[in-house]
Amino acid sequence: MRPMLATPTRVIPSGDEWIHEVKWDGMRVLADVSEGSLRLTSRTERDVTVAFPDLLPLATEYADMLLDGEIVCLDAGKPSFGLLAERFHVTNARRALVLAERSPVTLMTFDLLRLYGVELLGRAWSDRRATLERLELQGPRWQTPPTFEDGGLLHAATREQGLEGIVSKRTGSIYRPGVRSPDWLKSPHRGSTSVVIGGWRPESTGTVQDRLGAVLVGVPGPGGLRFLGRVGAGLAGRAGDSLRRSLSTIELEESPFVTEIPPEDAMGARWVHPVLVADVESLGLGHQGRLRQPAFKRLREDLSPDDVDDLILGGE
């Protein structure tokens, strides 16, 4: 099962039918506890249990439950996606234990989908949340963060604290697996979005041959990959070198984009299979449908192109 997703919004809803939560900069998972064991699945339905041995004791809390939440790696009290990124692709149990000692994670639980064999998907959010809070999941590596009635104040507070943003939820909404629902609305502080890489260009200057200078990115649309622009900022140093190595293994002879690439962007471009997802920050879209002043932020190994929506406001 895939988790329910939030729809981007620029207007924070208000009123008694809405509640608000902190939006965590982490990895979305469903945590399935059954018969004394824990199974963690990512947003792409990948089993990531082995990567997080520090969460295994959660299986001793209750005999049967299915939780929705976000795994975060806290650094000085704030989520660090960089520290977390070292962990979520690990498949070796011994390596995972070493990383758990060095960079332990915390599971922020915010929804309850099953308890003692009873499915709760069709119940209102308010009912599910009340049941979740009665479980009192406040362990050393997991917690249930509070909710807030005033979305505007929470949005301002999270901006001041350097957090990612907020999620607003309609209290009467049911849980719809895999659906990006208007009953959940996300308001990120960063102008970031997830995009698919379809090509790259080498640096035009310098002495290192084939060093990564920019990536060409887009979003899936009805006819295929739609071009959004060229991203060069943020690719210096190890981030660019690592991405360049990944791109060398997925080369493609022809452009994967269905829209025309401007000559100034296509010049010297090398095409790749559109399988890598990245987060970029920008000032939104310009009048030609291109990202304004985009900057590469990170590769999203926890997402696939199927998870990227034709929406230019915030990632999930």
> Which residues are identified as catalytic?
23
SS3 245: helix
What are the structure tokens assigned to 293, written together? Answer: 């002043």
Distance CA 238, CA 26 (A): 22
Q: Which of 287, 316, 286, 290 is nearest to 304 (CA)?
A: 316
Q: What is the CA radius of gyration of the chain?
A: 20
Q: Which of 159, 194, 171 is nearest to 282 (CA)?
A: 194
Please identify which residue in the block is written with the tokens 């997802």.
277
Q: What is the longest distance spanned by two Cα atoms in the chain? A: 63
Distance CA 69, CA 197 (A): 28
Beta pairing, strands 106-115 & 142-143: parallel
Taking CA 123 as the corner, what is the angle to CA 64 and CA 143, rounded to the nearest 5 degrees? Answer: 50
Please identify which residue in the block is written with the tokens 């607003």.
168
Q: Phi and psi of 87, rounded to 5°?
A: -105, -35
Query: Which one-letter amino acid corresponds to residue 14?
Result: S
Facing residues of 136 across strands?
Answer: none
Distance CA 87, CA 79 (A): 14
